[in-house]
């Protein structure tokens, strides 16, 4: 029997139903359309404004044992004008992480220590590929960029910095792939303003990025061989390992292991 005090599909459904019934159409800018048979908003109205089907939203309210994505929950919370406390409670009931909170960059000290203790190049990337942290081997590998840029961004480096095309072997193939990786990540955050502005900025600055983005290709970030033509160290071969942090799933740790 499900507890009504902590979490679970039934509790989540009851909470959403209460929120919907206590939200007047005027509260979200909907015009009055005669007398309503139900209090508050209709299920189909919440569903449509949240970008999901009425059937799917109904199942959520009914407490069916289905997986609701964090972005769907975020959309529903926005439609129902939830307060910060209500939104936090919603994600608690759904046993999900709020994507808005994930963008508050908090990297645990143990993770930072791991990056600095690695003997191979190692660094952290956020959702828009900002370099959050890196170790000395990574700085040596990307010397001429990482040691000079006050706010380094790996995607920006690939498409805006002249060093990228000489340092990264098979640059065009790699550049095409990381755009597909960015698009795969972006589908989980379709309404994120920072991410959308980032994509628009790169599209404006780089014709090639714009062309790659328009291909609509999506791939997950995987490991594999990475080759660099380093001006001092010569040709370097690595095996890339990518880890997604459980404490903040918008952050990834990249390690370039010697082959």
For residue 4, pLDDT over 50 is answered with: no
Cα–Cα distance for residue pair 85/28, rounded to 1 Å: 19
1 located within any domain: no
Same domain? 47 vs 119: no
| Helix 70-79 / helix 84-94 crossing angle, nearest 10 deg | 150
Under a CB-based contact definition with an 8 Å cutoff, are residues 107 and 133 in contact?
yes
pLDDT in tens, 167-202: 999 999 999 999 999 988 887 776 677 888 899 999
Same domain? 175 vs 203: yes
- Parallel, antiparallel or unpaired: strands 131-134 and 234-244: unpaired
The total number of structural domains that make up the chain: 2
Task: For residue 22, give its domain range.
Answer: 9-102
205 located within any domain: yes
Same domain? 240 vs 134: yes
pLDDT in tens, 132-146: 999 999 999 999 999
The pLDDT assigned to 10 comes to 92
CA distances from 211 to 183, 206, 246 (A): 13, 9, 33
Same domain? 149 vs 201: yes
The pLDDT assigned to 2 comes to 44
- Determine phi and psi for 236, rounding to 5 degrees: -115, 135
Half-sphere exposure of 65 (CA within 13 A, CB side): 1
- Structure tokens belonging to residue 144: 């001429």
Q: Is 244 exposed, middle or buried (0-12, 13-18, 19+ CB in 10 A)?
A: exposed
The CATH number assigned to the domain holding 40 equals 1.10.260.40
Same domain? 141 vs 23: no
- Structure tokens belonging to residue 227: 């080759």
Quick one: average pLDDT of 31-49?
80
For residue 92, pLDDT over 60 is answered with: yes
Min mean pLDDT across 18-27, 156-165, 243-252 is at: 243-252
Same domain? 62 vs 115: no
Tell me the residue length of the chain: 259
Under a CB-based contact definition with an 8 Å cutoff, are residues 142 and 122 in contact?
no
Cα–Cα distance for residue pair 85/87, rounded to 1 Å: 5
The pLDDT assigned to 247 comes to 67
Under a CB-based contact definition with an 8 Å cutoff, are residues 195 and 189 in contact?
yes
The pLDDT assigned to 135 comes to 96
Same domain? 97 vs 152: no
For residue 88, pLDDT over 90 is answered with: no
Same domain? 242 vs 114: yes
Place of tokens 């972005």: 71
The pLDDT assigned to 1 comes to 39
Cα–Cα distance for residue pair 127/245, rounded to 1 Å: 12
Quick one: average pLDDT of 97-126?
81
The pLDDT assigned to 35 comes to 66
Half-sphere exposure of 97 (CA within 13 A, CB side): 14
For residue 223, pLDDT over 90 is answered with: no
């Amino acid at each position: 029997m499900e507890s009504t005090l902590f979490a679970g599909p039934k509790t989540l459904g009851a909470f959403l139903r209460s929120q919907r019934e206590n939200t007047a159409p005027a509260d979200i800018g909907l015009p009055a359309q005669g007398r309503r048979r139900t209090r508050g908003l209709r299920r189909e109205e919440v569903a449509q404004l949240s970008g999901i089907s009425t059937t799917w939203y109904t199942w959520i309210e009914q407490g069916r044992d289905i997986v609701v994505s964090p972005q769907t929950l975020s959309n529903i919370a926005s439609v129902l004008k939830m307060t910060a406390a209500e939104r936090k409670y919603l994600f608690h009931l759904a046993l999900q992480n709020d994507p808005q909170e994930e963008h508050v960059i908090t990297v645990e000290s143990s993770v930072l220590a791991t990056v600095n203790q690695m003997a191979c190049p190692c660094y952290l990337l956020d959702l828009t590929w900002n370099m959050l942290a890196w170790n000395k081997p990574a700085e040596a590998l990307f010397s001429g960029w990482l040691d000079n840029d006050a706010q380094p961004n790996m995607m920006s480096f690939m498409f805006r910095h002249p060093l990228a095309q000489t340092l990264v072997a098979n640059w065009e193939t790699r550049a095409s792939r990381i755009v597909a990786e960015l698009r795969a990540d972006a589908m989980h955050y379709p309404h994120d303003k920072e991410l959308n502005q980032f994509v628009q900025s790169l599209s404006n600055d780089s014709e090639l990025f714009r062309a790659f983005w328009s291909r609509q290709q999506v791939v997950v970030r995987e490991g594999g061989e990475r080759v660099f033509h380093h001006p001092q160290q010569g040709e370097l071969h690595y095996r890339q390992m990518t880890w997604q942090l459980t404490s903040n799933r918008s952050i990834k740790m990249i390690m370039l292991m010697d082959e």
